[in-house]
Amino acid sequence: MPLTRGNGARRVAVGSLLLVAGLVAAPGPAGAAPEQQCGIGKTLRYIVVFDQGTRAEEAQRRIGAACGETVTYYAQIGVAVAGSRDRSFTDRLNDARAFSTQQELGGQGSASRKKNRTRLTAAIKASPSVATTDRSGEQWDMAMIKADEAHRYSTGSRSVVVGVLDSGIDAGHPDLAAAVDASVSAGCVTGAPDTKREAWQPSAFEHGTHVAGTIAAANDGKGTTGVAPGVRLASVKVVDDDGYVSPESAVCGFMWAATKGMRLVNSSFTAGPWTLTCKDRASDQWVVHEAMRRAVTYATNRGVLTVAAIGNEGTNLASTKCDALPGELRGVIGVSSIGADGTKASYSSYGLGTADLTAPGGDHRQKPQSSNQGCVLSTVPAGYGYYCGTSMATPHVVGVAALLASRFPSAGPTALTKMLSNQAETLPCPTDYDLNDDGVQDAACSGYADYNGFYGHGLVNALNAVR
């Protein structure tokens, strides 16, 4: 799943387009100085950070003068997406900062991309066809957060739109057909929104459809049931066919969510070519961090609450100086994962002040009696599948937030965040976290019963949210 790739802040993620080198002189594009000669190579995409308040005409002029072309400009936050065939594009920009994920990942070969795809599509078992029988009995995760009991009181309101920023949603799946709203869906893999149906439908990965089912699969006695089956979903495709989320795709997704008035965004990914991204202005990472920060802040100020996975690296994020994006940004609810026994999943990252809430994401080590798998059952294109990860925990939190947003239609991100914290069941740090019985603790949980680095404020509870 598109969460994290590696353990170090500078470890490069895989799943990129190959860089084609070799430049020759050629006349510059429109907007370039007459005497300027621009190099020609394969067009690479860049995210460009201008001073906030920069006018669109000025941004376009400067991009053109640097041998680039503007794909789109988000004037609200001073961030552009540009394309250029000149490898000196970033150096030519005047008082602006640019970064190309494609260029950063250009050296990754097909073997690395294949490895990444395997990591992303880590379904344990997938059913080949849509079920006509009720499979909710296999959803131990829903019982754990009392979603099944909550449905006696509320299934959520159609007025609430949840943006699923992911690999696309199969809108033809019977469990999701009534939930997916095509009018607010878009593809964002180029950095600019594309509302054509094929742009936001899944093309390579099941991940987004699985996440969507956990949030809002129909409560119709067939297949699986989501936490808030009464709400609407927007498919906002940010994962490309290599299983990668570029920062410009994520920025596009958050800006689209803000423009369309979504109440919530599910972000089961980390963006940027590094596992963790630093905000040091002296590095290229600052461009990615700043663009993401601005987009999320804008969305939050427009009433969108972002809920994000904090990663599958088992890292204590409180001990690092760099961030998992967007999970560690201000105003975002970071989610850790627990298994069927209610203990932090072995893979889940954690950290005091980083994990705000926890939810069932499954663990291969734990197989509940209600299922033959230790992972979470949900929808995948044309069927059902089991996935484990903080990606799977996050939509449980989003589903509970959607129930709260339905109950309190005027509540904004701050109010919803407080409500989510208040409804959670507190989980104290475990007295023993030796997962392999070798006498050594596998992670150290800091904090106290009501708030700690493993579980934040605790486990979400859908029943508490609706009554």
Q: Does residue 226 surpass a pLDDT of 90?
A: yes
Q: How far apart are CA 117 and CA 119, in angstroms?
A: 5
Looking at 118-132, 147-161, 270-284, 337-351, which range is the least confident one? 118-132
> What is the structure's pLDDT at 373?
75
Beta strands in 293-431, from DSSP E residues, in sequence order:
305-309, 333-338, 357-360, 376-380, 383-387
Per-residue pLDDT of 383-422, as tens digits, reads 999 999 999 999 999 999 999 999 999 999 999 999 999 9
Mean pLDDT of 243-247: 94
> What is the structure's pLDDT at 19?
18
> What is the structure's pLDDT at 36?
66
> What is the structure's pLDDT at 21?
21
The phi, psi pair for 23, rounded to 5°, reads -115, 145
Average pLDDT, the chain: 88
Burial 149-180 (b: 16+ CB within 10 A, else e): ebbeebbbbeebbbbbbbbbbbbebbbbebbb
Per-residue pLDDT of 47-68, as tens digits, reads 999 999 999 999 999 999 999 9
> What is the structure's pLDDT at 176?
98
Mean pLDDT of 112-134: 51
Please report, for residues 105, 233, 268, 419, the alpha-carbon distance to residue 163 in angstroms, rounded to integers and kept in the order given: 28, 6, 11, 20
pLDDT band (50, 70, 90) for residue 96: confident
Q: How far apart are CA 302 and CA 324, in angstroms?
A: 23
Closest CA to 247 of 105, 115, 116, 88: 105
pLDDT band (50, 70, 90) for residue 369: low
pLDDT band (50, 70, 90) for residue 95: confident
DSSP lists the bridge partners of residue 274 as: 12
Q: Which H or E element spans position 200?
A: helix 197-200
Looking at 8-22, 261-275, 434-448, which range is the least confident one? 8-22
Q: Answer yes or no: are the C-beta atoms of 201 and 152 closer than 8 Å.
A: no
Q: Which H or E element spans position 121?
A: none
User: What is the share, in percent, of the chain residues with pLDDT greater than 70?
Assistant: 86
Looking at 3-17, 357-371, 380-394, 407-421, which range is the least confident one? 3-17
